[in-house]
Each structure stands twice: as structure tokens, then as C-alpha cells.
């Protein structure tokens, strides 16, 4: 288990501001924190180097780009030792946006976006179930994402 890092009150304030708005200028963060822009830049570089911040990205709205079906798929493997080979093949399926190695009923749990239910069927039948090592799948279609958020800074 990874050891948690010591994050001070300035780090927390910076993280709160930049997770609320990834486009916020460093100088605005500096004004909010009552420190220099250089101090903010150094803190963000340190937090990135330590792995607290793992990148920045623009989040696309799937529906606005034509992906209207969101589904979660539990994957049962024929054998646990096939995990790495299966994940390597899953990476090639661009509709899969998340992949987790899990405990419980499924060996792998993935999040998938498709244009519609017909495309979801295509992903299931022609792509997923064609991967050697996958015994079967169980699919859950999301009717609505109620919320999505970052972890709180405690």
C-alpha cells in the first residue's frame, strides 16, 4: 500500500482551486493563496513530480460527440493468469474508457461508451467476446450519470 504524502494547507488550497477549474491561471491561484506566481508554479511542479497531480485534460461530453450509450461490463476470465494478455487486447478497443482489475464476481470491470445500443452489441459480440481468455461478460447500461467528482481534500 502506498504511503500518503504530507500535503499542507497551501497545497490543499491550490489543489482545490485547480481541480475546480483546470484552466485557472497560476497568477489567479497565487492571488487567491496570497503567494507569488513562482511559488504556485513550484508547488504544482512538486505535486506533479510526487504523483499527486497526474496530468491535465479536457473532458469531452460523450453525448456531444455522438456517444449516447454508456455501459459497464463485468468480464469473467477463463483463468486468472490470462489477465495481462486480455488487458493488452482491451486497450485496442477505443470504446473502453476505463479498465479495472477487481475482486468479487468479475476479474475485470470496464466502462464503455458507444454511439447506441447496436454499437454496444458490436463491441460485446465482435470485439470483447472474440478475445482469447474471456469466458463471458455481464453488461449494465447506465441510464444516467447522477454525478462525478474528484476526491475531497481532507
- 88-102: per-residue pLDDT in tens? 999 999 999 999 999
- How confident is the model over 117-143, as pLDDT tens digits? 999 999 999 999 999 999 999 999 999
For all residues of the chain together, what is the average pLDDT? 93
The confidence score (pLDDT) of residue 22 equals 87
Domains and CATH numbers, the chain: 9-49 (1.10.10.10), 62-142 (3.30.70.920)
**Rounded Cα gap, residues 81 and 27, in angstroms:** 50
Q: What pLDDT sits at residue 1?
A: 45
Task: Give the model confidence (pLDDT) of 53-70 as tens digits.
Answer: 998 878 899 999 999 999
Residues linked to residue 141 through DSSP beta bridges, in sequence order: 71
Amino acid at each position: 500500500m502506498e504511503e500518503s504524502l504530507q500535503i499542507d494547507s497551501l497545497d490543499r488550497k491550490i489543489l482545490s482551486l485547480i481541480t475546480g477549474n483546470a484552466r485557472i491561471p497560476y497568477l489567479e491561484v497565487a492571488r487567491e493563496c496570497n503567494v507569488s506566481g513562482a511559488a504556485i508554479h513550484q508547488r504544482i511542479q512538486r505535486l506533479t513530480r510526487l504523483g499527486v497531480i497526474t496530468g491535465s485534460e479536457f473532458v469531452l461530453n460523450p453525448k456531444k460527440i455522438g456517444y449516447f450509450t454508456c455501459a459497464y461490463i463485468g468480464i469473467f476470465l477463463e483463468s486468472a493468469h490470462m489477465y495481462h494478455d486480455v488487458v493488452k487486447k482491451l486497450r485496442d478497443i477505443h470504446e473502453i474508457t476505463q479498465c479495472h482489475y477487481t475482486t468479487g464476481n468479475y476479474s475485470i470491470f470496464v466502462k464503455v461508451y458507444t454511439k447506441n445500443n447496436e454499437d454496444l452489441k458490436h463491441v460485446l459480440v465482435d470485439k470483447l467476446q472474440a478475445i482469447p481468455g474471456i469466458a463471458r461478460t455481464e453488461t449494465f447500461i447506465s441510464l444516467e450519470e447522477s454525478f462525478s467528482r474528484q476526491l475531497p481534500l481532507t
